Structure 1
Amino acid sequence: MDSLKAMHCFVRAVELGSLSSAARELGSTQPTVSKLVAALEKQLGTRLLTRGTTGLTPTEQGKRFYERAKAVLEEYGEAVAEVRGLTERPEGVLRVNVPVSLGVLHLNGLMLAFMAQYPDIEVELILNDRFIDLTEENVDLALRLGGDLPPNAIARRIATAPRYLVAAPEYLQRHAPLHRPADLGKHEFLRFAWLSSGDTLDLSGPAGEKVSITTQGRYRTNSSLAIRDGVLQGAGLCITPAWLVSDLLDSGRLVRVLPDWSGPPHEAFLIYPERRYRPLRVRLLMEYLAERLPRLPGFTA
């Protein structure tokens, strides 16, 4: 039996919650992975997994072996990398997770340019707005904007995005003028459905002045692309990171409202699993994004 292969199958089965998921990821079959795990259990003389209607669950012995096996596999990966040394080539598959809007508007182009620079690297770009477990979903690198940082991962801040109040000129022509933050309460506000702050809007203004405004609006969505389109159609105004609307501001299709006031900025972080060794392809992409993202419209270093 290939003990390292069996340990790898076991570890991924625990993390993914099923033998079939581990088999798909490893390019194998469920019976093959099942046999390897069974052989590992026989070698150890104890059951590592219990199979129930809701999936796999590690036994108490399995939980303890999982932690040791995971560490052994990481040590093995580091040893292999050290032997390869400078001969390591930029190749292999990168799984990258980014927010939907940022991916569609900006990251898609950056990733294609990165692949053109490194033709032996493959990229799987996963777009979603939820915070995922990088280890469970086998993600090499994630880009997150604001919010709480996930545990058991390492975060590197690479850029900041200011947040502006914006609206379409047509909307402003049809509604009451805006002279001060308090006037926002009279206007239709488009909000993100998942914001923990609800209808409260915190703003910073001249000379460090800060205010909190209660907004009102009939439209909420969990998609910043939908917010962008709604504001563009004149449905209301919103507060948005600059990168989401920089092109529309440049063209005049949207304008800043109360330009002396802005919301708390979004910080952009690269998030990666808590492991000591990162393949060359991951390190190259991290440096690439750390250099390129602050240069995108709507971001600063």
Structure 2
Amino acid sequence: MDVFRSMQIMVRAIELGNLSAAARELGVTQPTVSKIIAALERDLAVRLIERTTTKFTPTEAGQRFYERAKQILEEYADARADACGLSAQVAGLLRVNAPLGLGEMHLHRITQCFVRLHPKVEVELVLNDRFVDLVEEGVDLAIRLGGALPASAVARDLATSERFFVASPDYLAQHGAIEHIDDLQRHEFIRFAWLESGATVEVAGPDGSRHIALRGRYSINSALSIRQSVCDGWGIAMTPAWLVQDLLDDGTLVRILPRWQAAAQTLRLVYPSRRYQPMRARAFMDYLESEIEAVPGLTTSRPRC
């Protein structure tokens, strides 16, 4: 049995979640893929895959084997490239997860530029606002905004973004100016749905820290929709600067109570806690760190030239 080839087939079958898809990609038949995985299971004396008529999923042992096998294959590819004098070349598939709003507004453009720079790399950018399991879902890198980190991951801080109250000039003209922190309680507050804090926000200002219970009849689990709702005059919102800085600059929105703000939002690059990172992942991390400082509303600690 060709163990190295068997590992390649096993890894791709798990990543694609389908024997037929793995067979098509590798240029073999589905029965061949099935036989190779079965032979690998016999050699290891452990069941790697659970098969039903509708599902193809790795067992716990299969998932552990997949993680180690993928690392071995990536290390081999890197060693081979180095031996062939290709160590400066970035190639292969990179899976990246990022928040929807930040991804659509800024990160997809940065990612496209990275792909143009490296013709042999392929990037799969998945945008959603949930905290994915990096290992279980085969994600190489995740960009996250605040929140606790999973125990199985390490992180690199990229930037911070201030958080403050904003509103549209039309809304303020209709509902009155907001001059004191207590004035907020008589206004419609648009918030992100499902937050544990609900409509209560903690802010710091000239009078120290305050917990303000705000009211609002509308909440939504989309940063972009909150941005649009504030522009449309539905109410006020507490937003990170990266979401609205362009609108503040052109006067579409205004910052209210500028002496009050919430804790800054931290932008982190998160990746599995393993010793080895493929070259394409390292290259993307470095590129993102160099480009993120150009995003309006984000502040990095990198020294500027």
Of residues 136-145 and 22-31 in structure 1, the stretch that sits farther from structure 2 once superposed is 22-31
Q: Which residue of 2 aligns with 1:67?
A: 64
2-structure distance, mates of 1:120, 1:175: 55
Of residues 148-157 and 164-173 in structure 1, the stretch that sits farther from structure 2 once superposed is 148-157
Alignment length, in residue pairs? Answer: 297
Quote the offset at 1:245 in angstroms: 0.6
Question: CA-to-partner distance for each residue in 1:195-247, whole Å, 9 max, x for gaps?
Answer: 1110111101137x110100000111001111111000000000001011111
Quote the offset at 1:95 in angstroms: 1.9
Q: Which residue of 2 aligns with 1:81?
A: 78
2-structure distance, mates of 1:27, 1:237: 56
1-structure distance, mates of 2:246, 2:63: 49
| Residues 97 and 66 (structure 1), Cα distance of their counterparts in 2 relative to 1, 3 Å cut | closer
Q: Which residue of 2 aligns with 1:269?
A: 268
Of residues 228-237 and 73-82 in structure 1, the stretch that sits farther from structure 2 once superposed is 73-82
Q: Which residue of 1 aligns with 2:303?
A: none
Aligned-partner SS, 1:154: strand
1-structure distance, mates of 2:27, 2:218: 45
Is the contact between residue 41 and residue 48 of structure 2 (CA under 8 Å) also seen in structure 1?
yes
Q: Which residue of 1 aligns with 2:257?
A: 258
RMSD across aligned positions (CA): 2.7
Q: Which residue of 2 aligns with 1:187?
A: 187
2-structure distance, mates of 1:118, 1:108: 15
Quote the offset at 1:64 in angstroms: 4.5
Aligned-partner SS, 1:129: coil
Quote the offset at 1:175 in angstroms: 1.1
Aligned-partner SS, 2:131: coil
Structure 1: stretches of 5+ with no match in the other structure: none
| Residues 90 and 160 (structure 1), Cα distance of their counterparts in 2 relative to 1, 3 Å cut | same
Is the contact between residue 4 and residue 73 of structure 1 (CA under 8 Å) also seen in structure 2?
no
Question: CA-to-partner distance for each residue in 1:65-98, whole Å, 9 max, x for gaps?
Answer: 7535643552453254235336221222222211
| Residues 80 and 110 (structure 1), Cα distance of their counterparts in 2 relative to 1, 3 Å cut | closer
Structure 2: stretches of 5+ with no match in the other structure: 301-305
Aligned-partner SS, 2:189: coil
Report matched runs for 1:1-301 at 5 Å: 1-10=1-10, 19=19, 30-45=30-45, 47-52=47-52, 55-56=55-56, 63-64=60-61, 67=64, 70-71=67-68, 73-85=70-82, 87-88=86-87, 89-206=89-206, 209-301=208-300
Identity percentage of aligned residues: 48
Is the contact between residue 204 and residue 260 of structure 2 (CA under 8 Å) also seen in structure 1?
yes
1-structure distance, mates of 2:153, 2:23: 25
1-structure distance, mates of 2:138, 2:63: 16
